[in-house]
Amino acid sequence: MNKTILLSLLLSFVMVFTACEDYLEVEPATGFTQGDVFKSEKEIQSAVAGVYTLMLSEDAYSNRLAFVFNMNTDVEMTGVSTNTVNVNGSDLACYEPKPYWTTLNSTWNSMYKIINLSNDVIEGIEKSDVYKAASKNTASDVTQLYGEVKTLRAMVYLDMIRIWGDVVFRTQSSSGGENFAVGVTDRNEILEFLIDDLKSVEPLMQYANELDYGVERASKSFNQGLIGLLALTRGGWTLRPDTNNPASIGQMVRGTNHELYYDIAIEYLGKVIQEQKHDLKLSYRDFWIKQNNWETPVDDDVLFSLPLLKNSSGEYAFYIGVPITEGNHPFGGASGNLSLCGTYLYSFDKDDLRRDMTCAPFSYNENLNQVIRLDLARLAVAKWSKLYMDDPLGSTSGKGTGVNYSWMRFADVLLMYAEAVNERFGPRNDARECLKRVRRRAFTETSWSEKVENYVDSKTTSEAFFKAIMDERAWEFGGESKRKFDLARWNKFGEVIYNQYHTLINWGRVANGAFVPGIDEAPGSIYWKNIPDPNNASRTILDIQGIDEILQARPAGYTEQVFATSWYSLNSETAAYEPRNDIKWSFRGFINFNNASSVSPNDPVRYLCPYPSKVITDHRGAIQNYYGFNY
């Protein structure tokens, strides 16, 4: 192990540790010498904390992985109004990333810094007398730390695979100056290794309620849940290149022997459920309110949260959340850049308690009065808001909210388990019960008979139950950046994006009075007025009509907000009725105004990113881009 590099990294973490309020509030041993590294459990803990520190960089989980790599779907959506590539890299949302974007290169490098340090720490633990002396039959703090860093490494590799496909794969120390000037490894080989690797450490890891800092550390339950997700990814579909034709987008391919991996998912996701260390105790609203107040119970929904640091790192409630204009108030500003698609709001059952905690058709002005904000791609994510904070960050605060990034939740485990069981055995009782558990939190108990029991029991075929899982994951995880990965795994990307593009056009046509088969009506407008906030007499909130039911006329005293009517209208330049520009081009890398007639819902979507240009150069020909990225 290159201990000189490791020592310099560890020493650089000291300043961070002294200011933290989360798991990273660790005091590393001072006066390190090369011979002293990993001589004690405290030194091992400091090294593992260093891995977390690297994960919290802007180029990794504090920013890029949280929202920059989102793609436009039927849930999250960024409006793109031009057919011209944006040189700063924001057009990733419309499936046209470019190898020369610095964002791709900086994230690639940041992720490998995490992997390199993880490999060094793993090797250092394996060589340490502390670890060698630890029992290999009973979980201890040292075996937990060893399993912890292996779990974090697997998580990072999974995210790289989901962004780039095949990636450079190393599991050994980076001593000797190795700069990854090698080729990539097939993603299935990586996933298979990681599954076996996590299985090997799982028995000697500890549960969140046994750990200081709880779910801000990678626990045994998270290890089990991650094995399940790795297995579903390995057993699912993925975009593969046509190596004989690099200009081709490629094709969606399912891994061989996928049944084996669904069985592994059932086993390890089943462990999380059966061991009963997590549940859905808090209401959906209370769960998110606590998240915004830096509170995460160890025995509820969250399996693993990245421990972001207040006033230092984190974009939740700033870039991701309800927008706020700075003013004479203690909450500071919030941009709310991550938006949800306008049609998504209308996909919910009107009685679903998740709808209004996920979809915010408003922002807050400088006086903290609600202002209407609802259009094609203007719907804010209501799960995060600085206004939920009991102890606000201050009038000049911006990003760096410290609100944790909940990377995996128990609701995710329940729905993945139901998905895996249905894939192998159909909608048997345990799969139905998992779906019901998620829906029980989504509805008041008085409606469980209809909205939970009857709804789930009516899905009697594998196809119907799978469609219910697709819908439930959309409603449960809106704004949490999961949809793109789900659609890829299910081989539903092309179908969903194709249908979404045409849905936006057809809503606009119907709202303008046209007949479209299969669409009886669409919300042409909504209507709103400001009313006093019952919780604060100095502010106003919006009373919005036209969401629970589509209205044909403006109620007295309400202001009209044009919605889908504006999505399809007369183009003054072409003198033709056309969809609006942000419908034409928001999915342009797959389907757009110019190619829509030739696109099929069965066509593959190029959802993977290109390897950064500098990476290709540095690897001296060992890596090349496919999927048409160089053509």
- Residue 177: pLDDT band (50, 70, 90) is very low
Q: How far is CA 228 from CA 217, 268, 546, in A?
A: 18, 6, 41
User: 204-219 burial, b for 16+ CB within 10 Å, e for fewer?
Assistant: bbbbbeebebbbbbbb
Q: How far is CA 263 from CA 198, 268, 416, 584, in A?
A: 16, 9, 12, 42
pLDDT over threshold 70, residue 179: no
Contact 438, 279 (CB under 8 A): no
Q: Picking from 210-219, 256-265, 440-449, 562-571, which range would have the lowest pLDDT averaged per residue?
A: 562-571
Neighbouring residues of 409: CB distance < 8 A, sequence distance ≥ 6: 301, 302, 303
pLDDT over threshold 60, residue 14: no
**pLDDT for res 538:** 93
Q: Picking from 25-29, 95-99, 202-206, which range would have the lowest pLDDT averaged per residue?
A: 25-29
Average pLDDT over residues 283-312: 96
Please report, in angstroms and rounded to a whole number, the separation of the first and last CA atoms in the chain: 42
Contact 159, 482 (CB under 8 A): no
Backbone φ/ψ region at 552: left (φ over 0), alpha (ψ -120 to 50), beta: alpha
Q: Which residues pair with 562 in a beta bridge?
A: 525
**pLDDT for res 173:** 79
Q: How far is CA 135 from CA 148, 380, 403, in A?
A: 17, 50, 37
**pLDDT for res 570:** 83
- Residue 574: pLDDT band (50, 70, 90) is confident
pLDDT over threshold 50, residue 5: no
**pLDDT for res 556:** 97
Contact 32, 63 (CB under 8 A): no
pLDDT over threshold 70, residue 564: yes
Neighbouring residues of 448: CB distance < 8 A, sequence distance ≥ 6: 440
Q: How far is CA 16 from CA 12, 309, 311, 459, in A?
A: 8, 10, 12, 51
Q: What angle do CA 373, 378, 382 make, to 5 degrees?
A: 75
Query: Mean pLDDT for the chain?
Result: 92
Neighbouring residues of 628: CB distance < 8 A, sequence distance ≥ 6: 246, 247, 248, 249, 606
pLDDT over threshold 60, residue 328: yes
Listing DSSP states for 419-434 in one string gives: HHHHHHH-S-HHHHHH
**pLDDT for res 68:** 86
Contact 586, 475 (CB under 8 A): no
Against a cut of 0.85, is the pTM above it?
Answer: yes
Q: Copy the structure tokens of residue 67.
A: 């929202």
β-sheet with 379-381: strand ranges across: 339-340, 379-381, 359-360
Contact 114, 54 (CB under 8 A): yes
**pLDDT for res 621:** 84
Least Cα distance to 566 among 81, 57, 231 occurs for 81
Contact 502, 516 (CB under 8 A): no
**pLDDT for res 390:** 97
**Per-residue model confidence as pLDDT tens digits over 501-535:** 999 999 999 999 999 999 999 999 999 999 999 99
